[in-house]
Structure formats: structure tokens, C-alpha cells
Amino acid sequence: MASCAEAATPNTEATPTLVSAAEAPPAIPTIAPTAEPTATPIIVPAAAVPATVGCTRGTVRTEDEIVIGALYPLSNPQMMANGFAMLAATNLAIADINERGGIGGKTIRAVIYDSASDPAQGALFAERLITLDCVTAIVGIFHSDVAIAVKDVAVQYHVPVIFADPYADEVTADWAPEIFRIAPTHSMLIETMGEWLNALGDYNRDGERLAVVIAENTEFGRSRLQRFEETLPQVGVKTVGFPIDLPSDDFSPVIARIVALDNLPDAIFLYLHNGNVMSLAKQLIDAGIGPERNSLLVTTSKILDDQRFWQEVPNGDFLIAMQIGPWPSTITQMGQSFAMRFQQYFHRWPEGSAFEAYDAVWLIADAIGRADSLVPNAIIDALEKTDITLAAGHYNFPYGSSSPPD
């Protein structure tokens, strides 16, 4: 597992889109419909169709092009920035691969749908990708709950998936051979946070080592809370979790619960993937809870958007951001090239999910090329033997069907 101009105008319609690097500029190709979609994609019952419907998969040599699928959150207002960053990264990877001759001389093409951050929609479009668009594999995905829904479909149809950014341990907990991930799990991240808190000690010197976790009441948030509550006590840190139902812009109820604690926490972790984490941080600081009162505020890389951050949290000095993915000092040559082109459109260093979306396309292209086949078993076998350095770092998959964990 590896470590871990103006932005394109969003198209917020939840419709299938096609990215074809052969017909568009290399950075952010024009997005055009693949077909006239119906309101509800056609779903073929699993009992009637054990594999894929009307799709044949042979060797690379017998195909006119190689088609892969991707799903990103392109219409959820809180997640569109991530979704379109991942979309752009996918397009850059497609363009780069095709400029180098494609896969065995065949062009690679991506069919991309909007998951809308909704597990049900993600599952519907995953099934459409497999049964109607006849994709060879699926890449991407941002949300854990969407990933779990997509995983069930992929396993049902025996189609390989490389998940780019979901963190939930459950995504790979059952070691399904079709499922690969390149982002760290919640457990890995929280173990790292535990090591950090252990080194931090009693930061506010009140005699108690206390961490508060504020997380959205979703699969992502609940999993994060559970992992914190299981892990941090092992290093002597008391943990209190507060779930938040979204959407909400008024965080005064949870702030009141923090104020009511016997001791202020040494650190407060803010996890609102689908909410306004900057507004939460500002309201905490305005209430006198934050670094100035010796309670560290720790959140995701969303706050690395400097312009937006200082506009929305003008008193946000000393907030801590967790960055997944490479920094400029650790980047590979390929990653530097990707980052420079990404910054031409987004004017920021690529977030970890963008690096992961870029590398996921390269990983599946590399596996298909080595397998010289579009047959799922051959691709899965090739993925398990991956040993390659890409934009974010070096990749291999130490566990697989031939090397299960102890």
C-alpha cells in the first residue's frame, strides 16, 4: 500500500459522463454524455445474471479500446471540490497513458458517473458500468459508505475495483479478491493519531489526557468514532465522541456539550466530510475552544485551501491538518509532473484523493497490460503482483488470494 487557470465548471447533473482523452485536451477533457440515461439505471437481478450481461472480455489485442469506470461525488455541494479534483486527476492519467501508447497499443477510455455521495446511487451506477457500459474495472470512489455499496456489486459480478480514497476498514475486511485499496484504513490513521497523542501528553496540563471526536453521523463518521474509542484508551487517552446529524450549520449544541465536560480536551478531532468543517472550527474558536485555550483542533486537508480557510476562519491560527499523500519534499518525478499540471487548473497542491485517483488509473492500466487480458481473474492476479512507483509513491499489495493475512 502506498502512502499513502480556473477550476473546471462543475456539471452537477447526476448523469453518466464519458472522458475520452483521444478527443479532448489532456488536462481536463470535455465531458459528454455516453448515452441518454434513464432516471433509474436498468438493474439486472443477480439471480438471473451471475456475471455481466452482454459483455465479452478477451485479450487486449482483440479489443478496439479498453474501457474502465469511475464514480465520484460531483453534485454534493460539500464534496464537489474533491469530486472534480479526482475527475481531473483521472482525466490526466487517461491522457498520459494514451500519449504513451495506451495499453498494448489500445486507447483507454473512462466512463464516469456522479455518485452524489449516495450509496444507493453509487451501487446503481456501478451495476450500470458493469452490465451496460461493459467496463473492465472500476476505479476511484471517495466515500466509505459508497465504496461498501459498490463493493457488493463488484463482488457479485466479479469485476475488479481499485478504491482510491475510502478509509473504512470494512471495505477490505473480508479480503474479497476483487477489491483493492490504496488509501490507508481508519485503523491505520487512528493508530498514528494515538502515537501522536501519546507523544503530546497532557497538553493543557489539567491532569487528564482527553480527546474529543466530532464526526458526522454516517458510515464514515461512525466508523471513525468507533476506531478512536477502541484505540486511544490503549495509549492512556480518554475519548469522548459526539456524532452530528447533517446537514447543519449551527454547531452550538455540540459545542455546549464540550463546554460541559469536566476538563477541556487536549485535542479535538473534526471529521465532517459532508459538512462545513471550517464553520465548525470557527464556531469552536468563537466559543473560546481552541489552541488559545490549549485545546488543539485537528481536521482534514480541507483546510489546506488557504484562500477559503482564511476567509471562513480568520482566527484559525494553529489549526492542524492531516495530509494524506505526498508533500513537495517527498514527491516522485511522476508525481511532480502530475502536481504541476493539476495546479494549472486548481491553484493548489493536489489533495491525497487526487493523487490516489491518478494512480488508480495507472495501476489498473499496468495490471491489464501485464495480464494482456480483460478477464477478471487475470487482472486480479496481475494486480496482486503489482510492484510499481507512481505519482504518490511505490505500490504493492502484500495480501491477496495467494497470500492471505495470518
Q: How many structural domains does the chain have?
A: 2
Question: Span 236-244, mean pLDDT?
Answer: 93
Q: Does any domain span residue 11? A: no
- Name residues whose C-beta falls within 8 Å of residue 82's C-beta, 6 or more positions apart in sequence: 72, 73, 142, 165, 351, 353
Bridge partner residues of 126 (DSSP):
none
- pLDDT the model gives residue 52: 55
- In which element (H, E) is residue 336 found? helix 333-346
Q: Does any domain span residue 404? A: no
Indicate if 249 and 366 belong to the same structural domain: no
Indicate if 110 and 21 belong to the same structural domain: yes
- Only one residue has cell 476498514, namely 169
- Where does the pLDDT of residue 208 fall: very low under 50, low under 70, confident under 90, or very high at 90 and above? very high
Distances (CA, A) of 113 to 54, 84, 121, 246, 366: 20, 12, 9, 24, 23
Indicate if 131 and 77 belong to the same structural domain: yes
Query: Which of 321, 343, 372 finishes a domain?
Result: 321
Indicate if 40 and 161 belong to the same structural domain: yes
Q: Does any domain span residue 350? A: yes
Of 20-29, 184-193, 203-212, 294-303, the poorest mean pLDDT is in: 20-29
- Could you count the other beta carbons within 10 Å of the beta carbon of residue 300? 18
Indicate if 39 and 155 belong to the same structural domain: yes
Backbone angles phi, psi at 181, to 5 degrees: -135, 150
- Residue 221 sits in a domain of what CATH number? 3.40.50.2300
Taking 50 as the threshold, does the pLDDT of residue 14 lie above it? no
- pLDDT the model gives residue 324: 87
- Tens digits of residue pLDDT in 45-92: 333 334 455 788 888 998 999 999 999 999 988 789 899 999 999 999
Indicate if 168 and 45 belong to the same structural domain: yes
Indicate if 230 and 275 belong to the same structural domain: yes
Indicate if 241 and 285 belong to the same structural domain: yes
Query: Which of 321, 348, 383 finishes a domain?
Result: 321
Counting residues of the chain whose pLDDT is more than 90, the rounded percentage is 60
Inter-residue contact 397 to 383 (CB < 8 Å) = yes
- From CA 289, how far away is CA 268, in angstroms rounded? 9
- pLDDT the model gives residue 34: 32
Give the closest residue to 381 by CA, choosing from 356, 405, 402. 402
Taking 70 as the threshold, does the pLDDT of residue 25 lie above it? no
Higher pLDDT, 310 or 103: 103
DSSP E strands, 53-125: 65-72, 107-114
Backbone angles phi, psi at 244, to 5 degrees: -125, 130
Higher pLDDT, 19 or 378: 378
> What does the block give as the cell for 325?
499523500
Q: Does any domain span residue 368? A: yes
Inter-residue contact 34 to 100 (CB < 8 Å) = no
Would the CA dihedral through 363, 368, 371, 374 be positive or negative?
Answer: positive
Indicate if 277 and 367 belong to the same structural domain: no
Q: Does any domain span residue 296? A: yes
- pLDDT the model gives residue 178: 96
Inter-residue contact 140 to 90 (CB < 8 Å) = yes
Taking 70 as the threshold, does the pLDDT of residue 185 lie above it? yes
DSSP-assigned letters across all residues of 165-200: S---GGGSTT--TTEEE-SPPHHHHHHHHHHHHHHH
Query: Which of 321, 350, 377 finishes a domain?
Result: 321
- pLDDT the model gives residue 27: 35
- Tens digits of residue pLDDT in 253-272: 999 999 999 998 999 999 88
Taking 70 as the threshold, does the pLDDT of residue 335 lie above it? yes
Backbone angles phi, psi at 203, to 5 degrees: -60, -40
Counting residues of the chain whose pLDDT is more than 70, the rounded percentage is 86
- From CA 162, how far away is CA 367, in angstroms rounded? 11
Taking 70 as the threshold, does the pLDDT of residue 30 lie above it? no
- Could you count the other beta carbons within 10 Å of the beta carbon of residue 132? 20
- pLDDT the model gives residue 53: 58
Of 41-45, 68-72, 395-399, the poorest mean pLDDT is in: 41-45
Boundaries of domain holding 65? 17-184+332-395
End-to-end CA separation in angstroms for the chain: 17
- pLDDT the model gives residue 115: 96
Q: Does any domain span residue 248? A: yes
> What does the block give as the cell for 394?
511505490
Amino acid present at 328: P
Would the CA dihedral through 388, 187, 141, 159 be positive or negative?
Answer: positive
Q: Does any domain span residue 204? A: yes
DSSP helix/strand/coil, 296: strand
In which order are the strands placed within the sheet that holds 238-244? Answer: 238-244, 210-216, 267-271, 296-299, 320-321
- From CA 127, how far away is CA 130, in angstroms rounded? 5
- pLDDT the model gives residue 47: 36
- Where does the pLDDT of residue 400 fall: very low under 50, low under 70, confident under 90, or very high at 90 and above? confident
DSSP helix/strand/coil, 78: coil
Q: Does any domain span residue 235? A: yes
Higher pLDDT, 301 or 164: 164
Indicate if 174 and 193 belong to the same structural domain: no
Indicate if 359 and 218 belong to the same structural domain: no
Taking 80 as the threshold, does the pLDDT of residue 395 lie above it? yes
- From CA 266, how far away is CA 199, in angstroms rounded? 12
Task: Look over the chain and give the mean of its residue pLDDT values, rounded to a whole number.
Answer: 85
Residues in the chain: 406
> What does the block give as the cell for 404?
492471505
Indicate if 66 and 40 belong to the same structural domain: yes
Question: Span 168-172, mean pLDDT?
Answer: 90
Give the closest residue to 353 by CA, choosing from 180, 182, 224. 182
- Where does the pLDDT of residue 33 fall: very low under 50, low under 70, confident under 90, or very high at 90 and above? very low
- Tens digits of residue pLDDT in 351-362: 999 999 999 999
Question: Span 130-158, mean pLDDT?
Answer: 96
Of 299-303, 374-378, 389-393, the poorest mean pLDDT is in: 299-303
- pLDDT the model gives residue 93: 98
> What does the block give as the cell for 119?
450509496
Three-state secondary structure along 226-282?
HHHHHHHHHHCCEEEEEEECCCCCCCHHHHHHHHCCCCCCCEEEEECCCCCHHHHHH
Of 38-42, 116-120, 249-253, 402-406, the poorest mean pLDDT is in: 38-42
- From CA 88, how far away is CA 102, in angstroms rounded? 18
